[in-house]
Amino acid sequence: MTNKILVEPHVDAITMPENLRIGLMIAEHRKKCSNISCSFDYHGFAFGQSPFHVPAPLQKALAENVDNGHYSAAEGILELRSAIAGFNNRHFGLDVDPSRIIVGPGTKDLIHIIFDIVQGGVVIPSPSWIGYSPQITLLDKHFHTFHLKPEFGYRIQPDDLDEFISGLEGDQHTLLLNNPHNPTGVVYSKNELESIAEVCRRHNTLVIADEIYALTTYEIGNFTSMGTIYPEGTFITNGLSKDRSAGGYRLGSVILPDECSEKLIEAFTKVAATVYTNVSTPTQYAAVTAYSPNKEIEEYFRITREIHRIMGTFMSEGFNEVDGVNATTPHGGFYFFADFNELKNDLMRKGVKNSNELGHSLISHPHHIATVTGDACLLEPDDYGARIAFVDYNGKEVFERFRANPPKTMADEVEFVKQNAPRMVTGIAALKAYVESIKSK
């Protein structure tokens, strides 16, 4: 009987997200290997989850709110939306009335709702975070891939964007602007955002500013929210998953554009009520603490972003030292992008025919390098590139060691990575061996 159940074609058109699939496979392998001895481990550069613990004040607040078992407002409880407004004001200089804030079960769901509600096609810069395009496919809507150029460090060039959007049909478009950017680690300057906003204004283009990595920007003073530059056209999404390491809590928020109509707020609220009713009420009450002024959480932001900077710098330099591989330098978040195109001829000769196969080839025996490549990053088949996440270490232990004895010099920082992230360090050696094997006759 079950074989006869017919599945809708738009569901068949998407696959299990590659990062989750590989992440689960590695977790399973490591679990098995804790009981029996295994001959190898993976270099886990595929799954980009914050490696740190949930900050203690947030854990405590969740425990204290277990009895809040009632349903709550679809848009989020007012205490939380007010706390989120205060947080955005303190950190990003945004002046937002709580009525423009909607709380959702992670920003992934909220981005999905924006795709659902807002008319027109979506412009997705590539390489891209792996979550956006399947959501649009699932909604039976369309997107346009806007290829970023390595010679410009994969930064959106306003003139290119202008030309690209000019060529699109339709009266309204939406640009996805992920800043800091997963997977390249690019952080946009205020001037760059102003130029991008100018293009968007000219072409009636809204922006989804996915700022989930904002507070992981290594030089935090360099981060500017698009909401301060293009307030009338920007949806800002952010949440607890990355800077507060609480991805599993499933809580994020969207700030609607400041000229948004009552109709848009109502549209959002009714879709939220229809799809998920409300975000878990205990989590919402706990999150009030996560968004309220708190010295311990501020220290947590400072320490974790420093660790990301140290790990990211070491790893991208290590990748760049491998002949034929060109890696971006991350300025925020916990990813960089590695370009393998210099090795294209060698890869083709060895039967690695496209970017999807690059991922399979890297993870295969004896290299075991887990990455995300190809379609998942919206790459062209002949664009050999890989997203590298640098979070494969025990975050809680590393956090405590950093707090007790922060590295003071560059040499200390190198030593810090070697001591605390050995699996990532040996991943660089594995990459060197992989490239040698690809180049060999």
Ligand X SMILES: Cc1ncc(COP(=O)(O)O)c(C=O)c1O
List interacting residues with ligand X (CB under 6 A): 48, 106-108, 129, 131, 178, 182, 210, 212, 239, 241, 247, 252
Q: Quick one: 182 or 354, whose CB is closer to ligand X?
A: 182
Least CB distance to ligand X at residue 48 (A): 6
Q: Quick one: 112 or 367, whose CB is closer to ligand X?
A: 112
Q: Quick one: 239 or 359, whose CB is closer to ligand X?
A: 239
Least CB distance to ligand X at residue 241 (A): 3
Q: Quick one: 106 or 231, whose CB is closer to ligand X?
A: 106
Distance of CA 388 to the CA centre of its chain: 12
Q: Quick one: 161 or 389, whose CB is closer to ligand X?
A: 389
Residue nearest ligand X by beta-carbon distance: 106
Distance of CA 186 to the CA centre of its chain: 12
Least CB distance to ligand X at residue 335 (A): 8
Least CB distance to ligand X at residue 177 (A): 11
Least CB distance to ligand X at residue 79 (A): 20
Count other C-beta atoms under 10 Å from residue 37's C-beta.
Answer: 6
Q: Residues 43, 370: contact at Cβ < 8 Å?
A: yes
CA distance 321 to 69: 54
Q: Quick one: 182 or 420, whose CB is closer to ligand X?
A: 182
Least CB distance to ligand X at residue 352 (A): 26
Q: Quick one: 199 or 208, whose CB is closer to ligand X?
A: 208
Q: Residues 251, 242: contact at Cβ < 8 Å?
A: no
Q: Which of 64, 77, 198, 175 is nearest to 126 (CA)?
A: 175
Q: What are phi and psi of 337, to 5 degrees?
A: -115, 130
Instruction: Give the C-alpha distances (Å, rounded to integers) separating 79 from 67, 197, 212, 252, 349.
Output: 17, 32, 21, 15, 60
CA distance 151 to 87: 36
Q: Residues 255, 100: contact at Cβ < 8 Å?
A: yes
CA distance 253 to 242: 13
Count other C-beta atoms under 10 Å from residue 354's C-beta.
Answer: 18
Least CB distance to ligand X at residue 3 (A): 33
Q: Quick one: 311 or 430, whose CB is closer to ligand X?
A: 311
Q: Residues 271, 117: contact at Cβ < 8 Å?
A: yes
Least CB distance to ligand X at residue 12 (A): 24
Residue found under tokens 């980009």: 48
CA distance 362 to 388: 12
CA distance 398 to 320: 25
Identify any residues that bridge with 327 across adjacent strands, giving them in sequence order: 338
